[in-house]
Structure 1
Amino acid sequence: MRRSRITAYVTSLLFAVGLTLTGAASAQASSSAATGYVALGDSYSSGVGSGSYISSSGDCKRSTKAYPYLWAAAHSPSSFSFTACSGARTGDVLANQMGPLSSSTGLVSLSVGGNDAGFSDVMTTCVLQSESSCLSRVATAKAYVDSTLPGKLDSVYSAISAKAPSAHVVVLGYPRFYQLDGSCLAGLSENERSAINSAADYLDSATARRAAAHGFTFGDVRGTFSGHEICSGSAWLHSLNWLNIGESYHPTASGQSGGYLPVLNASD
């Protein structure tokens, strides 16, 4: 009888602890889902290239197929502020996008730095000029990433921490543009494609270092885009598009849902 009473007591105790832990876990999940989400950044975050642009966003071209919009639709945060904007540099994020951040912000995502480093000009140079000019412009972009970009990223990251001290911040990187030795029969040389890929790697590495220094999570999308670069035969990036030049070298809707969203999901 005594052993039975002890067994019953232990069983009851374990059951009570189980309920407590289950309740705590549920409360934590509920709290996480209830916090506000703010999506900052440039065209890779606004969704340029994916279509379905929100008319009220104007030239910022925020898309309902962009990864922030998809994440918010799936997770129903208590509030969702989508301020990412096409063409944004670090200074634009600081000046125009941070208004919604507050102590109740639980999640912040952003991609920024590519425009500061002049990637649009890199691609213009590489498409229109010689291979040597392309390689030289890539080298200039890398030098900027070394000398100037880290301080600009620090300014953005510090401002986010100050305005949203409780937020989990996910800094999304950029994919490599090209699959080397791929299916492309014309256009840039392999040397140029390799140089552009190396510049993307360079930018991602610098961004990851600064994000880590601020205690932020770096979301590396190069893995999810692997096999879906330009020249892959199943590209999630637009190649040069003369009819809609602004969408060139940006993720398609599949790139947003298959390349970016899974990385944010794994990092949030």
Structure 2
Amino acid sequence: MRRSRFAASVTSLLLATGLALTGAAAAQASTVAANGGYVALGDSYSSGVGAGSYISSSGSCDRSTKAYPYLWNAAHSPSSFAFNACSGAKTDDVLANQLGSLNSSTALVSITIGGNDAGFADVMTTCVLQSDSSCLSRINTAKAYVDSTLPGKLDAVYDAISAKAPSARVVVIGYPRFYKLGQTCLGLSETKRSAINSAADYIDAAIQKRALDHDFVFGDVRTTFTGHEICSGDSWLHSVNWLSIGESYHPTAAGQSGGYLPVLTNAA
């Protein structure tokens, strides 16, 4: 879903590095945040749930010093940094609680949002604990929500970001596929794994479309996570973790630094 034609050299670079970015501004030099502030918005995939090293003052938001926004800030030293992403956040939470740091001097905004609106946690619980048919039914319910309601929710968030930070480069980052298919792997059936991957693709497609329609950049982490899915033997994602259930199906520290960070770095 590209809206601009990249120069051959830029296309080759993106392919060589294994990063997938789309949007009208994706081929520009990644220096936009050097002269302004960076604000990190979103849900647990941006706060760093699953990466450990949580900042105590962040409370239940579980912001991690190993999350990609924190790592990007440490590497690039923007003029200011607001780490507002919060575990469990939905689009309404972003609108109500996370936008206060945005202003006319904000140069870079990153965000992952939409998974909780679509009922990600309930989908995974259903698929882990119930039958194949129950899993597929719950995923179909989530897809119906993505079709009917999520686009408007995303539009409200994206419009608010543009209004509060009109000069910012906005990088909307998606979600990874969770399973490497065709492997001998304990746990969920291949039917469930395939359906969960399909659901990730489905919400990513919806998020990408809304991002592009707002002239934002879309960062696709499915490329960087390829070969590092659950069942790959080198997973950057937690499988079901009964000792810390909230970390299940979230990126590890390696997933943040190797999966999410390069996509933001290439887009910023």
**Band of TM-score, shorter chain:** 0.7 to 0.9
Whether the 8 Å CA contact 1:134–1:192 is kept in 2: the answer is yes
Whether the 8 Å CA contact 2:30–2:265 is kept in 1: the answer is no
Structure 1 residue aligned with 2:82: 81
Structure 1 residue aligned with 2:240: 240
Structure 2 CA distance, aligned partners of 1:69 and 1:31?
Answer: 17
Measured at CA, do residues 225 and 154 of structure 1 come closer, stay the same or move farther in structure 2, by a change above 3 Å?
same
Structure 2 CA distance, aligned partners of 1:33 and 1:254?
Answer: 25
Aligned with 1:40: secondary structure? strand
Structure 1 residue aligned with 2:141: 140
Structure 2 residue aligned with 1:115: 116
Q: CA deviation at 1:130?
A: 0.8
Q: CA deviation at 1:32?
A: 3.9
Whether the 8 Å CA contact 2:43–2:113 is kept in 1: the answer is yes
Q: Highest CA radius of gyration, 1 or 2?
A: 1
1:218 and 2:241 correspond: no
Whether the 8 Å CA contact 1:183–1:233 is kept in 2: the answer is no
Structure 2 residue aligned with 1:9: none
Structure 2 CA distance, aligned partners of 1:58 and 1:182?
Answer: 38
Structure 1 CA distance, aligned partners of 2:128 and 2:258?
Answer: 27
| CA deviation vs aligned residue, 1:71-130 (integer Å, no higher than 9, x gap) | 000000000000000000000000000000000000000000000000100000011111
Structure 1 CA distance, aligned partners of 2:114 and 2:210?
Answer: 11
Q: Which ranges of structure 1 fall in alignment gaps of 5 or more residues? A: 1-27
TM-score, normalised to structure 2, is 0.88
Whether the 8 Å CA contact 1:183–1:232 is kept in 2: the answer is no
Q: CA deviation at 1:189?
A: 0.7
Measured at CA, do residues 183 and 50 of structure 1 come closer, stay the same or move farther in structure 2, by a change above 3 Å?
farther
Structure 1 CA distance, aligned partners of 2:217 and 2:66?
Answer: 23
Structure 2 residue aligned with 1:208: 208
Structure 2 residue aligned with 1:262: 262
Specify which structure has the higher proportion of helix: 1
Structure 1 CA distance, aligned partners of 2:41 and 2:31?
Answer: 24
Aligned with 1:169: secondary structure? strand
Structure 2 residue aligned with 1:251: 251
2:112 maps to amino acid: S
Alignment of 1:37-48 (within 5 A): 37-48=38-49
Q: Which structure exhibits the higher relative contact order, with contacts defined as CA atoms closer than 8 Å and separated by 6 or more residues?
A: 2
Q: CA deviation at 1:170?
A: 0.1
Q: CA deviation at 1:29?
A: 8.4
Q: Percent identity?
A: 76
Q: CA deviation at 1:187?
A: 1.4
1:102 maps to amino acid: N
Q: CA deviation at 1:34?
A: 2.5
Q: CA RMSD in A?
A: 1.2
Number of residue pairs aligned between Structure 1 and Structure 2: 240
Structure 2 CA distance, aligned partners of 1:255 and 1:152?
Answer: 27
Whether the 8 Å CA contact 1:43–1:84 is kept in 2: the answer is yes
Aligned with 1:57: secondary structure? helix
Measured at CA, do residues 190 and 91 of structure 1 come closer, stay the same or move farther in structure 2, by a change above 3 Å?
same
Measured at CA, do residues 76 and 133 of structure 1 come closer, stay the same or move farther in structure 2, by a change above 3 Å?
same
Structure 2 CA distance, aligned partners of 1:31 and 1:153?
Answer: 24
Structure 2 residue aligned with 1:63: 64
| CA deviation vs aligned residue, 1:111-155 (integer Å, no higher than 9, x gap) | 000000001000000111111000000111111000000000000
| CA deviation vs aligned residue, 1:217-259 (integer Å, no higher than 9, x gap) | 0000000000000000000000000000000000000000000
2:64 maps to amino acid: S
Structure 1 CA distance, aligned partners of 2:233 and 2:184?
Answer: 6
Aligned with 1:52: secondary structure? coil
Alignment of 1:179-218 (within 5 A): 179-184=180-185, 186-218=186-218
Structure 2 residue aligned with 1:165: 166
Aligned with 1:38: secondary structure? strand
Whether the 8 Å CA contact 2:102–2:164 is kept in 1: the answer is yes
Q: CA deviation at 1:182?
A: 2.1
Measured at CA, do residues 30 and 227 of structure 1 come closer, stay the same or move farther in structure 2, by a change above 3 Å?
closer
Aligned with 2:42: secondary structure? coil
Structure 1 CA distance, aligned partners of 2:145 and 2:54?
Answer: 32
